[in-house]
Amino acid sequence: MRTPISFFLLLSGMLFTVGTVGVLIRKNALIIFMSIELQLNAVNLALVTFSRQNGNLTGQVLTFFSMVVAAAEVVVGLAIIVSLYRKRRSIDVDDARMLRW
């Protein structure tokens, strides 16, 4: 295996950064959600890389759990978005500013 570890980690970092920027920039709730998924996946990549680096399977197990939790989270999150849409006919997050001063 000749690809250096650092490349994987840098790739993970880049994907995470893209995800973060996506969360901050977009107004569409679904796309924000997808950016969050990007972040999660970037972390998964990093975990598996560490697993390879350290020579045990702990990282992979963690990744497994991360995926499970991500699945559960997506389910609930989308249910919320659907509910929100039914109430307000809009999934623009800027329209939900009831907690404004």
Partner 1 sequence: MADTVVFWIAAPISVASAIAVVLARRAVHAALFLIANLFTLAVLFLVLGSEFLFVVQIIVYAGAIMVLFLFVIMLLGVDQEVSLREQLQGQRLVAALLGLGLLAEVVVAVRLGVGLQRTPLPDFAAVNKGGNVQALAHVLFNQYFLPFEVTSVLLIVAAIGAMLHGRRRMDEEETIDREQAVL
Partner 2 sequence: MRLTFLIPFLPLAGAAFLLLAGRRLRGSAAGWLAASLVGLGFVVSLVILGRLLGQPANHRLYVAHLFDWVQVGSFRVGVDLRDDPLAIVMALTVTGVGALIHVYAIAYMRDDPRFSRFFAYMNLFVFFMLMLVLANNFLLLYLGWEGVGLCSYLLIGFWFDRPAAANAAKKAFITTRIGDSAFLIGIVFIWLRVGSLDFGRVFGAAHGLPNGTATVIALLLFAGAIGKSAQIPLHVWLPDAMEGPTPVSALIHAATMVTAGVYLVVRAHPIFEASSSALTVVAVVGIVTAIYAGLSAIGQDDIKRMLAYSTMSQLGFMFFGAGMRAYGAAIFLLVTHAFFKACLFLGAGSVMHGLPDDETDLMKMGGLARPMPVTALTWAVSAAAMAGIPPLSGFFSKDQVISSASLAGRPGFWVAALAGAFLTAVYMGRGTFLAFFGRPRYDGHPHDPPAPMRIVLLALGALAVIGGILGLSASNGLLVRFLRRVIGAVGERVAGPSEAVLTLISVVVALLGVGLAAFVYVSGRFDWQALRARFARARQTLSHGFYVNDVYGGAIVAPAKAGSAFLAYVVDDRLIDGSVNGIGGAFRQLARAGRLAQSGLVRRYALAFAAGAVGILIFVAVRS
Q: List binders of partner 1 among 14-53 (CB under 8 A).
A: 14-22, 24-28, 30-31, 33-35, 37-38, 41, 44-45, 48-49, 51-53
Q: Taking CB under 8 A as the criterion, which residues in 20-49 touch partner 2?
A: 20, 23-24, 27
Q: Taking CB under 8 A as the criterion, which residues in 63-92 touch partner 1?
A: 63-65, 67-76, 78-83, 85-92
Question: 42 and 66 in contact (C-beta within 8 Å)?
Answer: no
How far apart, in whole angstroms, are the C-alpha atoms of residue 65 and residue 38? 16
66 contact, one of partner 2, partner 1, none, CB 5-8 Å limit per kind: none
Torsion of CA 64, 1, 56, 5, to 10 degrees: -80
